[in-house]
Amino acid sequence: MFGIQFYPTPKPVVEMMMDKVEWSGVRFVLEPSAGKGDIVDGVAKRLKGKVHQIECVEIDPDLREVLRGRGCCVVGDDFLRWSSYTRYDLVVMNPPFKDGDKHLAHALDLMRHGGQIVCLLNAATLQRTESAFRADLYRRLKEYGATIETLHGAFSGAERRTDVDVSLVYVNIPRESEDDSLLEDLTEAEVMDGTGGDVNDLVDADFFRGLVQRYNYEARAGLEIIDHYERLKKYIPCQDGTGETQIINLSVATKEFKYVADGVMSKENAYLRELRHKYWEALFASREMQGMMTRDVREKYMAKLEQFRSYDFTLANIFQIKIDLSKALVQNVEDAILAMFDKLTYQHSMSKNTNVHYYDGWKTNDCCKVKAKVIVPFYGLYDNRWGGSWSEYKARDYLMELEKVLTYLDNGRTDGMTCDKVIMETFHAFRYSGEKIRCKYFDLEFKKKGTVHIFFTNDEVLKKFNIFGGRKKNWLPLHCQEGCCADCL
């Protein structure tokens, strides 16, 4: 059902894997071939009652959905092409028998800073080391002092049976040896992922690629500083004779500081999680991403920012979000059109019960139809103090959403400068005095009393807007669902 290489790990074997681990310092765990979560369950059971993070990688899309449905944190798909800056304490894995050697070698690379690995392999993988790759893998395991135990018939009574013997490999890679050398400058090759370029000009023509390059630079630079501090800490003098209060101290500014102080989370992982949060937030707030999102969708992603601390800021993860947005685009846009229709009609009309003051409701805003002129309030749009100043940004997001809705209804046929750019250019000149501002689908007048007057200039698109809203609310006559007669509008 899930592929010919999918062999769920039997519970007795999971327990044997768990028994290999020294659990006292384990908090961050990776399961790189998670399947449907059998090993994850074993890890969670051993860490019950302790603050911990278990992250999964799984190549099968159906199994990824199974894992997400169980509340697992899925951070990647193809482990052999996946990498992370996270410093895991433990990698526990039952990789596909066919490529088990490649998976174990990649895990060794990932854990080069130190930590434990528990891995199930086809026993023949380490018994037949004729190939140079397997010979090198076996050499690395010996250097680390790995233990290799052969299990006979471990899968003979499993959910998916096989008589293949397996090897249970345990490796405890020591933490990096101390290095007394001072921090060396990062090379351009490190900064730019081998693509070359100027360190001072990290953003290239591709916005998303440039943002990822910035993230990679900050991740590597920060980790390098932390690593060197930890190595040199013993040489830093203390304020008193207790040996506890050092003159120089390094801390990470993070909301998760308590976990760092309690020793649950390393400075390295705390730094990475805070850095990811910063870049995911910047991405969702960027104009490039806003063009793909309605306001409601963007707010949903922003509300889930804490979850994104676990996800590396990579092009693959960004593109997956773009794919997810594309799949839901039609429904998201239609929801946005209807929400905007409600705001421009009933919400700011005189017919709404709560609009008892003229400031809150206008006759220009019909309760069932968007007219050629509407008025929308924005609190704090203009400040009379100190000679007066505009806060046009309070209205910009709303107007960008309106333009996005009309562009969808127009199928993008109308050319012109975006209202975002028009508003920015107008107000950055510091000369606005209430005149009309011309945008693609409407003119705007900003009023000092805290309102924006919107004059729709494209009658055809406005008609489509009203027909869409009327149809969704079942207001159009049964004989006319296309707004083709005078009774409809």
Instruction: Give the model's pLDDT for residue 452.
Output: 93
- The distance between the two most distant Cα atoms of the chain, rounded to a whole number of Å, is 91
Please provide residue 186's backbone torsions phi and psi, each rounded to the nearest 5 degrees.
-70, 140
Taking the domains of the chain in order of start, what are their residue ranges? Answer: 11-173, 188-327, 330-488
In whole angstroms, give the CA distance from residue 150 to residue 138: 15
Residue 384: how many other CB atoms lie within 10 Å? 8
Tokens of 439: 């945008």
Burial of 474 (0-12, 13-18, 19+ CB in 10 A): exposed
DSSP-derived secondary structure for 116-180: EEEEEEEHHHHH---SHHHHHHHHHHHHTT-EEEEETTTTTTSSS-----EEEEEEEEPPPPP--
Instruction: Give the model's pLDDT for residue 476.
Output: 65
Q: Tell me the pLDDT tens digit for each residue of 3-53.
A: 455 567 888 889 999 999 999 999 999 999 888 889 999 999 999 988 899
In whole angstroms, give the CA distance from residue 32 to residue 186: 29
Instruction: Give the model's pLDDT for residue 298.
Output: 77
User: CB–CB of 57/74 below 8 Å?
Assistant: yes
The three-state secondary structure class of 277 is helix
User: CB–CB of 474/460 below 8 Å?
Assistant: no
Instruction: Give the model's pLDDT for residue 156.
Output: 61
Where b means 16+ CB within 10 Å and e means fewer, 235-246 reads eeeeeeeeeeee
**What is the distance between the terminal CA atoms of the chain, rounded to a whole angstrom?**
54
Instruction: Give the model's pLDDT for residue 360.
Output: 47
Residue 329: how many other CB atoms lie within 10 Å? 15
Instruction: Give the model's pLDDT for residue 443.
Output: 94
The three-state secondary structure class of 283 is helix
DSSP-derived secondary structure for 379-446: TTSEE-GGG-EE-THHHHHHHHHHHHHHHHHTTT------HHHHHHHHHHTT---S--EE-SSEEEEE
Domain 11-173 has what CATH class?
alpha beta
**What is the reported pTM?**
0.66
Mean pLDDT by 10 residues, the chain (489 residues): 61 92 94 90 92 91 89 91 93 90 95 94 83 92 93 64 80 71 43 38 65 93 91 77 72 84 86 94 83 75 87 88 72 79 75 48 70 90 86 89 86 84 84 88 93 93 88 65 48
Burial of 266 (0-12, 13-18, 19+ CB in 10 A): buried
Instruction: Give the model's pLDDT for residue 162.
Output: 63
